[in-house]
C-alpha cells in the first residue's frame, strides 16, 4: 500500500474502512472515504453521486485485518460452527444411549452425526476473516520510500 491506492480493512474496534490513502506519515494512514449514493431520476433510472467524503487517520497498530467487509446473509463459518456443534452433541447423545439402552442404539445415527461434525469443521475452516494481522505470520511493515 502506498499513497494514492485503495485500502480496505477492519480496525481493532470493529470499524470497516474502504477508502483512498492520501498520506502515510509517522506510522499513520490518512484515509479518505467517499459516501456514494444512488439517486433516482425522473425517468426511473439511477445515477451515482458522491454525496460527501470523510477523512480518517489510523495508526498501524489499530488495523486488525485487511480484506473485504464480513458478508451479511449466509455465513459459511458460522453455519459450519453450528453444524459441528450439533454433530458433536448428537455423537455424545448416541454414546449416552449406548451406555443406557443398547437395544435403542443406532450406529448409523452416530456415524451420520460424526460425518456432519466433520463437514461442519471443514466449513468452519473455509470461512474467511480476511488477512488478520498477527496470525499466520501476517504483519505490517512500514517502509519509508521518500528520498
Is 59 in the same domain as 84?
no
To the nearest whole number, what is the mean pLDDT of the chain?
82
Q: What is the pLDDT of residue 128?
A: 59
Q: What is the pLDDT of residue 131?
A: 60
Looking at per-residue pLDDT, the higher value among 54 and 75 belongs to: 54
Q: Rounded to whole angstroms, how far apart are CA atoms 69 and 36?
A: 17
Is 14 in the same domain as 64?
yes
Q: Is the pLDDT of residue 124 over 70?
A: yes
pTM score: 0.51
Q: How many domains does the chain have?
A: 2
Is 49 in the same domain as 99?
no
Is 60 in the same domain as 36?
yes
Q: Rounded to whole angstroms, how far apart are CA atoms 4 and 64?
A: 21
Is 80 in the same domain as 49?
no
Residue in 54, 58, 56 with CA at minimum distance from that of residue 35: 54
Residue 140, C-alpha cell as written in the block: 505490517
Of the ranges 29-33, 68-72, 126-130, the best mean pLDDT one:
29-33
Is 66 in the same domain as 93?
no
Is 65 in the same domain as 14?
yes
Q: Rounded to whole angstroms, how far apart are CA atoms 116 and 122?
A: 10
Q: What is the pLDDT of residue 45?
A: 92
8-18 average pLDDT score:
86
Residue 70, C-alpha cell as written in the block: 464480513
Is 62 in the same domain as 98?
no
Number of H helices, E strands in the chain: 2, 6
> Which range of residues forms the domain containing residue 13?
6-70
Amino acid at each position: 500500500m502506498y499513497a494514492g491506492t485503495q485500502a480496505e480493512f477492519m480496525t481493532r474496534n470493529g470499524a470497516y474502512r474502504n477508502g483512498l490513502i492520501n498520506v502515510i506519515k509517522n506510522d499513520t494512514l490518512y484515509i479518505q472515504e467517499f459516501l456514494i449514493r444512488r439517486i433516482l431520476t425522473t425517468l426511473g433510472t439511477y445515477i451515482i453521486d458522491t454525496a460527501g467524503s470523510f477523512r480518517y487517520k489510523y495508526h498501524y497498530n489499530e488495523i486488525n485485518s485487511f480484506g473485504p467487509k464480513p458478508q451479511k446473509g449466509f455465513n459459511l463459518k458460522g453455519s459450519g460452527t453450528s453444524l459441528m456443534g450439533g454433530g458433536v452433541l448428537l455423537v455424545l447423545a448416541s454414546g449416552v444411549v449406548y451406555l443406557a439402552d443398547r437395544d435403542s442404539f443406532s450406529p448409523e445415527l452416530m456415524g451420520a452425526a460424526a460425518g456432519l461434525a466433520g463437514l461442519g469443521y471443514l466449513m468452519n475452516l473455509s470461512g474467511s476473516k480476511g488477512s488478520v494481522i498477527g496470525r499466520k505470520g501476517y504483519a505490517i511493515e512500514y517502509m519509508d520510500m521518500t528520498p
